[in-house]
Structure 1
Amino acid sequence: MGQVNIEASPLPPRETRRDDPLISLVIPCFAESDTVELFVSATYASLPGQRLEFVFVNDGSPDDTLAKLLALSIRDPHVVIVDLSRNFGKEVAMTAGIDVASGDVVVPMDADLQDPPEVILKFLKRWREGYDVVFGIRSDRHSDTRGKRVTAGLFYRFFNNLAQTQIPPNVGDFRLMDRVVVDAVKKLPERTRFMKGIFAWVGFPSVGVEYVRAERSAGTTKFSYWQLWNFALEGVVSFSTVPLRIWTYAGMSVALASVVFALVIVVRTLVFGRDVPGYASTMTAILFLGGIQLISLGVIGEYLSRLFLESKQRPLYLLRGIYREGKHDERAEKSQ
């Protein structure tokens, strides 16, 4: 598919956007007890005078993250807590937060402050110019390990060469979305969620803003390389059918090679007489074809498993409660 164009295209004239939009920050949390208070204080310091709504999603944290969040919500009426019944994963937790967020614009971000809150001011500037999506481009990823930087670069290239939906390189979930985009995202009900792809799929006028990704403010990352591999696999399978098509061509190629090889054997037998095939060549052919078949079955299985999950029509997540000012918000819970 080639490189993804992140340059802004000219926009038609649009209505003037308000100077004081309500900004909903959607923050998925799993064992982020050490970071949530730092996040709120740093955000207020970075965005003075802005109207803010903090939508924290407690994704089944095993520590006292929920207690810290409840204490925050008692002190600060702008803090909303979405408490999930168990750990559903970051993508689903982000979806739950987007469902609850009521802002004119919504900004998904992590609680560890690696995505600096002050960049949101640059997002707002481009939003007022008429862009419905303003995404952050990680121009400097020194806070990530070399291995993570290399594998991330390989993933973006691999994904964009396979999928019709293109993801700009070095772009994560950190972005500002207008309410019209949020409403469009909420219409996508698939159970296997790859939010970067979903954000790109809905479209709308978009532009990137570069920023430097900082070190974590506290705590440690919750993602292992195995989880990142599975996450990358989820993204490719969710947005591309090319892996299925590859095995159609692979099967055709192997079949053609088999026909050619059979003709060679026939001709050689007619010319030189019968020969006895060797054990090594027979085993090589059997193992090669067996490996091809197993890999192709595995690829088919990945797609079939997603059909299985979609057919069950289970809800994306279950709530234990939504809290404002430390109390259950029963009206918000019933609306979900």
Structure 2
Amino acid sequence: MEPRNRTSVSEFSLLALTEDLELQPLLFSLFLSIYLFTVLGNLLIILAVSSDAHLHTPMYFFLANLSFTDICFSTTTIPNMLVNLQTQNQSITYAGCLTQVFFVLFFSSLESFLLGVMAYDRYAAICHPLTYTAIMNPRLCGLLILLSLSITTVDALIHSLIVLNLSFCTDWAIPYFFCEVVQIIKIACSDTLLNSTFLYLAATILGGVPLSGIIFSYTQIVSSVLRMSSVGGKYKVFSTCGSHLSVVSLFYGTGLGTYISAAFTHSSRKTAVASMIYTMVTPMMNPFIYSLRNRDMKRALRNIIR
């Protein structure tokens, strides 16, 4: 049998940020500022970790990887939004849309795994301080990063390949500011049972496993802290874990809010705004959370600035 292309669409149309021409320059400046703050803040975290010998520990190694992931996550969506605002053209090519789907899935899943790995690192440091260096050795740290990269790559690749088999009729409008796999499945006119099944299965595993690990780690950490007699020791633990807990709450809170909004509201614009907060605000806030609540990080950043 001769192979045939089941997808006749050459481009998709994304949701316009605003129809008000006077508001577009303001939105362009806002999103450009968010992007620059995100890139600059996360780059400073990476530079601080790599240049300060005191930060050459597993916790800051994972933090540097998280910062790099945040830069890439923002770069996947924001530059295209800026171009659309500047040109007033909301179209995106079919290949460009699939590429964006792949990287959005990849970096969002990778961030989830990195947050889970960081929670395990805090659990090992607080609950097993005497054997911490043996547990979180460089080999294990590297293997955890490689395992996270492998799993998220396979997941994003399978999603993208399954989407390739979808066909589209006349509805080529995606009610988002960027290409997102759930929205593409919704507008397809072919059978999407396989896509939906794998989507929910992957979301349950790739989201549920890291989150379960985080919950387990902090359950053990709280139990260990409650057994401490020193008030200073308790404060030190909470100050160490506070930054990570704030980032976890922000990431999973905005992500959950996005999908709840998609399930319970009929307004595509409200859902799109919720997704924008998830993909833009979280990567921007992470550097501020870690730098403001961490004395070692603040010292390293001051040294870089000087």
When normalised by structure 1's length, the TM-score is 0.24
Normalized per residue, the structure richer in helix is 2
Structure possessing the higher radius of gyration over alpha carbons? 1
Question: Which structure: greater strand fraction?
Answer: 1
Greater RCO (Cα-Cα under 8 Å, separation 6 or more): 2
